[in-house]
Amino acid sequence: MKRYLATAIISIAFMLSAPLASFAAPPPISAKEVKKASELYFDRCTCCHVTLRKGATGPALTPKKLSKKELTTDDLEAFIAEGTDGGMPGWVDDGIMSQKEANLLARFIQHPPVAPPEMSLADMKKTWRVLVPVAKRPKKPQHNRDWKNFFGVILRDAGKVAVIDGDSKEVIATLDSGFAVHILRTSATGRYFYSIGRDGRAALYDLWTKVPTKVAMVQTCTEARSIDGSKYKGYEDKLAVVGCYWPPHAVIIDGITLEPKKIISTRGYTYDKNEYHPEPRVAAIVASHYTPEWVMNIKETGFIWLLNYADIENLQVNMIAAERFLHDGGWDSTHRYFMPAANKRNTMVIIDTKTRKKAAQFKVGKIPHPGRGANWIDPKYGPVSATVHIGEMRLSVWGSDPKGHPQHAWKVVHSIDMTKFKGLGLEGGGQLFLKTHPKSANVWVDMPLNTDKKTQRSQCVFKKANITAVPVCFEVGKKGKAVHQEYNKAGDEVWISMWDNDGEVVVYDDKTLKVKKRITGLRTPTGKFNVYNTMHDLY
């Protein structure tokens, strides 16, 4: 509802602003079309071109820039429909948009962008609901299941979260979340799952009730991708933080009621040129185990924030200059170093949360996308970490043990071009996630955005003992895209989503690579989060 209200407000503001435009007359567009185009833009374009269209991983789309390049409506429609060499999908060619919608967007982006509404703490409080008061929640688990081996599975387009018992593989609850729910994180004790939807709706699920239950919800923004709880000793389950795309801010909320407590704007100046940016989005967040802090990627200004939550009335934020377009990332195996990707710069950044400084940054392949990454012991280089890439089929592995193996620390020790594995059909990039577990001998790699349909449906499994050897690659299912991996608590099973309207989660034995179970009837499953591994940041 809020989303539609936001697009309605944008539509009206847009119509009012159009006559003030100072550039050549943009093509006509009706108020009804603006509303539809705003929704399309929000769903498909903001990720790369951002709300105010100043550009991020995609180029700026301001009318001034478009008119300077003398791009006509037909040119823009062709880009949208067919995609670009720079990596933009062909929205019509891929069957996601109609030609009419491509034409609508082509006309829309020639008009000046209008900022969606801001959100105050009072606005957030109006959306805040405690569905089960804390006093009425159980004091101990009301079932005999091993809840630390539960998996929360994102059912993206259903706007739901499925909770699956990792032992019996039963779907024990399917709970409403927000529109295009994006990720889950657990609270420090693991008792609660937090979800965040792309529409900025956060929800809290109690895993101790007889059947997992949604116990609170709040909307802290109109667009978001990240959330995490407070993991430092003494603050377990006390607080959480939502990272927003729009409005550009982070919001500290209560950890077990979700009451919004404090808004921290991310608007400011870029780390390098000190230029004002009106829309720096919060990308990945991790919770420190050693200090009362969240480590947060501020994408467009290129800063990494250490946001201390010990005293939120006298808030301390360390802003570490890093690199622009910070996206995803995770901890090294010791949880001292945070390792995010500045994806548009083909760079990994290393933040030392002990010295509170950037420890290193180095180039990897084209558009690194680690998710939270993978950490293991390489027989030659000792503790290493790795990323896959959206822009090419490559596994980049770097040393991540500055104490024990200083000569290899923060240097790429393996850069595995997966196209060299003849006969596997590994071309075209489009990797999104990789995963391992301390008890596993394997590293699993997906490629759901690859141009080849069979490759999209496949996974490749590398051996830690000989990471450069030819991996075993196989199709996970016949429909959809094989996306995101998660281990069970014991580290001997790997769960993969087949992302499709009629989707499934496929459970593999990590040793034999044989299918143990297909959990079917799941609409658009994407990310999966095992309680134990997420609590302890095991990957």
User: 314: burial class by Cβ within 10 Å (0-12, 13-18, 19+)?
Assistant: exposed
Return the range that interacts with ligand DHE (CB under 6 A); candidates 20-28, 281-289, 358-366, 501-509: 281-289
Q: Say how far residue 443 (Cα) sits from the centre of its chain.
A: 20
Q: Which stretch binds ligand DHE (CB under 6 A): 76-84, 136-144, 279-287, 375-383?
A: 279-287
Q: How far is the CB of 283 from ligand DHE (least distance, A)?
A: 4
Cα separation, 395 vs 230, whole angstroms? 32
Nearer to ligand DHE, 283 or 384 (CB): 283
**Residue with token string 């802290």:** 220
Q: Please report whether residue 367 would count as binding ligand DHE according to CB under 6 A.
A: no
Choose, from 111, 182, 369, 437, the residue flagged as catalytic.
369
- Name every residue whose Cβ is closer than 8 Å to that of residue 311 and which is 6 or more positions away in sequence: none
Q: Find the angle CA(192)-CA(194)-CA(195) to the nearest 5 degrees.
A: 145
Out of 241, 263, 367, 432, which residue is the one contacting ligand DHE (CB under 6 A)?
Answer: 432
Residues of span 194-253 touching ligand DHE by CB under 6 A: 198, 225-226
Residues 483 and 448: beta-carbon distance below 8 Å: yes
Distance (Å, whole) CA 127 – CA 145: 33
Name the nearest CA neighbour of 253 among 283, 288, 220, 225: 220
Q: How far is the CB of 256 from ligand DHE (least distance, A)?
A: 20
For residue 210, the minimal CB distance to ligand DHE (Å) is: 28
Does residue 284 belong to the site contacting ligand DHE (CB under 6 A)? yes
Cβ at position 432, least distance to ligand DHE in Å: 6
Q: Is 285 in the site for ligand DHE (CB under 6 A)?
A: yes
Question: Which is nearer to ligand DHE, 46 or 213 (by Cβ)?
Answer: 46
Catalytic pick among 111, 182, 327, 335: 327
Query: Rounded to 5 degrees, what angle do the CA atoms 256, 209, 495 make?
Result: 90
The SS3 assignment for 485 reads: strand
Based on the residue annotation, tell me whether 47 is a catalytic residue of this protein: no
In sequence order, what DSSP letters do the residues of 312-363 get, joined into one string?
GGG-EEEEEE--SSEEEEEE-TTSSEEEEEEGGGTEEEEEETTTTEEEEEEE
- Piece in contact with ligand DHE (CB under 6 A), picked from 72-80, 142-150, 280-288, 337-345: 280-288
CA neighbor of 536 nearest in space, from 437, 393, 446, 461: 437
Alpha carbon distance 45, 33 (integer Å): 16
* Between 182 and 191, CB nearer to ligand DHE: 182
> Annotated catalytic, 244?
no
Binding residues for ligand DHE restricted to 122-181, rule: CB under 6 A: 156
CB 160 within 8 A of CB 175: yes
> Active-site residue 369, yes or no?
yes
CA distance linking residue 363 with residue 349, whole number of Å: 9
Binders in 442-501 for ligand DHE, by CB under 6 A: 483-484
Instruction: Give min distance, CB of 370 to ligand DHE, in A.
Output: 9
Which residue, 405 or 437, has its beta carbon nearer to ligand DHE? 437
The nearest distance, CB 178 to ligand DHE, in angstroms, is 12
The yes or no reply on residue 364 touching ligand DHE (CB under 6 A) is no
The reply to whether 48 belongs to the active site is yes
Of 159, 229, 370, 371, the one binding ligand DHE by CB under 6 A: 371
Annotated active-site residue 49? The verdict is yes
User: 10 Å Cβ neighbour count for 159?
Assistant: 20
Q: Which residue number, 413 or 449, has a Cβ lying nearer to ligand DHE?
A: 449
Residue of 34, 183, 258, 295 that binds ligand DHE (CB under 6 A): 183
81-90: b (≥16 Cβ within 10 Å) or e: bebeeebbbb
Closest distance between ligand DHE and the C-beta of residue 405, in Å? 26
Which residue number has the CB closest to ligand DHE?
A: 527
The dihedrals phi and psi of 213, each to the nearest 5 degrees, come to -130, 140
Number of alpha helices (DSSP H) and beta strands (DSSP E) in the chain:
9, 35
Judged by CB under 6 A, which of 177, 526, 530, 533 binds ligand DHE? 526
- What is the closest distance, in whole angstroms, from the C-beta atom of residue 183 to ligand DHE in the complex? 4
Of residues 302 through 361, those in contact with ligand DHE by CB under 6 A are 327-328
513 belongs to the binding site for ligand DHE (CB under 6 A): no
Distance of CA 429 to the CA centre of its chain: 18
Catalytic residue among 1, 15, 47, 88: 88
Q: Which stretch binds ligand DHE (CB under 6 A): 201-209, 282-290, 406-414, 471-479?
A: 282-290
Whether residue 123 contacts residue 116, with contact meaning beta carbons closer than 8 Å, is answered with no
Cβ neighbour number for residue 341 with a 10 Å cutoff:
29
# residues contacting ligand DHE (CB under 6 A): 19
Calpha distance 284→148 (Å, rounded): 24
Q: Shortest Cβ distance from residue 383 to ligand DHE (Å)? A: 20
Peptide bond into 247 cis (omega under 30): yes
Smallest distance from ligand DHE to CB 199, Å: 11
Q: Does residue number 47 form part of the binding site for ligand DHE (CB under 6 A)?
A: yes
Catalytic site positions? 45, 48-49, 88, 327, 369
Which positions touch ligand DHE (CB under 6 A)?
A: 47, 156, 182-183, 198, 225-226, 283-285, 327-328, 371-372, 432, 483-484, 526-527
